[in-house]
Amino acid sequence: MLRQWLEAGGRWLALHGSSGGKAVRRPDTTKREMVKLPYHDTLGGFFLSHPPIRKFRVDLVDAQHPLTRGLPESFETVDEPYMVELQAPERSQLLLTADWGEVDPNAPTGFYFERDTTVLPNGGSTRRAIAFVRELSAGAVAYTTLGHCHTPTTNTQRRVHESVAADGKPPLKLLGSWETEGFRTLLRNGIAWGLGED
């Protein structure tokens, strides 16, 4: 139903956890592994894992797209650095990227993965997609990995990167990207784009 609506000209602005889905227990580890579903092809992205919440720089790739209108060349944020594998790179327009380095698949946090399939193919960098648009016939999906927030009752983070807290303890309340002008501009543009006001 969602895909047919999109293919008929619908536009969907998808945030952060939209790239997740079903996780299954692995018999050989305490970690769970994400399961790729048909939904991920429609979205254009599949969540693989994320290292601890950290501060990182988001870089503008396409300043001409309506979603990025008014964004600076880069902005700092605090968020869960989602590792999202592009499902249709040839039909996806990259808007924002970030590079927070390599991610150890054996780290105690995050989900199980054998190898990092989220690094963009640009020759030796560890740059990953932060926002993209996936065309679907007459419609499209715009997705951003940004958007984690939590309160004391919704926080499930065991630790955060030292760029957020020197002791690694998660803050009780985190608004992260929601407090940055770059993210708010992206959201305003995304709503206008979704309504066809571009």
Give the sign of the dihedral formed by CA 83, CA 16, CA 176, CA 62.
positive
Distances (CA, A) of 181 to 18, 74, 82, 114: 22, 11, 20, 36
pLDDT in tens, the chain (198 residues): 899 999 999 999 999 999 998 999 998 888 999 999 999 999 999 999 999 999 999 999 999 999 999 999 999 999 999 999 999 999 999 999 999 988 888 887 889 998 889 998 876 689 999 999 999 999 999 999 999 999 999 988 889 999 999 999 999 999 999 999 999 999 999 999 999 987
Number of structural domains, the chain?
1
Tell me the residue range of the domain where 147 lies. Answer: 2-194
Residues 47, 82: contact at Cβ < 8 Å?
A: yes
**Which CATH number belongs to the domain containing residue 138 in this structure?**
3.40.50
CB atoms within 10 A of CB 185: 17
Q: Report pLDDT for 123.
A: 60
Interatomic CA distance for residues 126 and 139, integer angstroms: 30
Residue type, 101: G
Residues 6+ apart with CB under 8 A from 38: none
Distance (Å, whole) CA 164 – CA 169: 9
Per-residue pLDDT, 101: 87
